[in-house]
Amino acid sequence: MFDLRELIQKVSQVKDKLELQNIKSQFLGKNSQINQEFKKLGSLNEKDRKIRASSLNNEKQKITEAINNKFKELENLEINQKLQKNKVDVTLPGRERPNGKIHPVSQVIDEISSIFSEIGFSVAEGPDVESEYNNFTALNTPEDHPARDMHDTFYLDKNKKILLRTHTSPVQIRTMLSGKAPFKIIVPGRTYRCDSDQTHAPMFHQLEGLHIDKDLTMGHLKGCLDYFVKEFFEVNKIKMRFRPSHFPFTEPSAEVDIGYRLENGRIIFGEGDKWLEILGCGMVHPNVLKNAKVDPKKFQGYAFGMGIDRLAMLKYGINDLRSFFEADFRWLNYFGFDPLDVPTNYRGLSR
């Protein structure tokens, strides 16, 4: 027979759980010596069997206890070692701020969304690839309408049925067709025209606004735009002028200019006698409402559209529109915004 004291001694010296597992199967497993001894019990007479069985059980219990205790001990040791290793060093310096910057166009979209959300507008979206119907026909611009030529459209098929949207206005149609009046949305998004110079890029950004409800007037449109322009340029007063204009999808239509003066090459808004056009707007044409399944006798409202890139250039003093799309890291580092500085109306919109 094996020596119990020797075995217990051996167990106490074990260093890891695997080794302990091996010892366990060696001394308690099916082929272990103690098991063989149990098998021999049958050949003993009753009296001897009782004595032998009790001593074997006693031994087995001692071995099991020794192994289980060692197992717990090893487990505790392992946990303590892990805790030691994962200790947080609170004296370490903080991580560096991220290197990336938010592009001025993204920043301005966030600013504009924040401003309009304050007065109940929500943000809607539509695809860049549009149908000719949503981009023109439904917006009261039939095939022979001269306004179509002015848009320098990128068509995507021979039949001119699919195109890259030339403005964000088709999202007016999509929104009205997929919901029920009233509507109060803004649509920031990419738009495309076949045009490129210092102030035009083939891909640019527009912001559309649409507010449809009962009893809306041109007065609501003026109030809304007055609020927006003041908030956006962060000034208390603004000079604004509505010039009569024409868009097929609004009647009456207007273009809006804001007054400014130059001071050492910088634009100061709200004073001066120069005018800068910033957007087009008007009361939504009844034909547009009909095409979008809205009853013009019950509902009417206003719409507006503006160029986001131009607004960003004006606000942040950027001269060349093309620099927006050059992905020059030095430029982005200079004009970009801190990613953790999300613009909101209460905290301030820009730096």
Q: Which stretches of the chain bind ligand DAH, using CB under 6 A? A: 167, 169, 208, 247, 250, 280-282, 303-305
Distance, CA of 232 to CA of 337 (rounded, Å): 16
Distance, CA of 305 to CA of 253 (rounded, Å): 11
The DSSP bridge pattern shows strands 183-192 and 122-123 to be parallel
> Rounded to the nearest whole angstrom, what is the least distance from the CB of residue 169 to ligand DAH in the complex?
4
Q: What is the largest CA-CA distance in the chain?
A: 123
Q: Using the minimum distance from each CB to ligand DAH, give the nearer residue, 259 or 305.
A: 305
> Rounded to the nearest whole angstrom, what is the least distance from the CB of residue 331 to ligand DAH in the complex?
27
Q: What single string gives the DSSP state of each residue in 89-129?
A: -TTSPPPPPP---B-HHHHHHHHHHHHHHTTT-EE----SE
Task: Classify 257 as helix, strand or coil.
Answer: strand
Distance, CA of 188 to CA of 110 (rounded, Å): 9
> Rounded to the nearest whole angstrom, what is the least distance from the CB of residue 96 to ligand DAH in the complex?
43
Q: Using the minimum distance from each CB to ligand DAH, give the nearer residue, 247 or 335.
A: 247
Q: Using the minimum distance from each CB to ligand DAH, give the nearer residue, 208 or 231.
A: 208
> Rounded to the nearest whole angstrom, what is the least distance from the CB of residue 308 to ligand DAH in the complex?
12
> Rounded to the nearest whole angstrom, what is the least distance from the CB of residue 289 to ligand DAH in the complex?
13
Q: Using the minimum distance from each CB to ligand DAH, give the nearer residue, 63 or 283.
A: 283
**Where in the chain does DSSP place strands (E)?**
122-123, 129-131, 162-164, 183-192, 203-213, 240-247, 250-263, 266-269, 274-284, 300-307
Q: Using the minimum distance from each CB to ligand DAH, give the nearer residue, 107 or 153.
A: 153
> Rounded to the nearest whole angstrom, what is the least distance from the CB of residue 330 to ligand DAH in the complex?
32
> Rounded to the nearest whole angstrom, what is the least distance from the CB of residue 226 to ligand DAH in the complex?
16
Q: Using the minimum distance from each CB to ligand DAH, give the nearer residue, 188 or 343.
A: 188
Q: Using the minimum distance from each CB to ligand DAH, give the nearer residue, 124 or 332.
A: 124
Q: How far is CA 39 from CA 43, 113, 131, in A?
A: 9, 84, 88
Q: Using the minimum distance from each CB to ligand DAH, give the nearer residue, 66 or 303.
A: 303
Amino acid at 87: K
Residue 347 CB neighbours (<10 A): 9
Q: Which residue is nearest to ligand DAH (CB)?
A: 305
Q: Using the minimum distance from each CB to ligand DAH, give the nearer residue, 170 or 259.
A: 170
Distance, CA of 322 to CA of 197 (rounded, Å): 8
Evaluate whether 113 touches 311 at the Cβ level (below 8 Å).
Answer: no
> Rounded to the nearest whole angstrom, what is the least distance from the CB of residue 255 to ligand DAH in the complex?
8
How many angstroms separate the first and last alpha carbons of the chain?
85
Task: Classify 35 as helix, strand or coil.
Answer: helix
Q: Cα 337–339–341 angle (5° rounding)?
A: 80
> Rounded to the nearest whole angstrom, what is the least distance from the CB of residue 141 to ligand DAH in the complex?
10
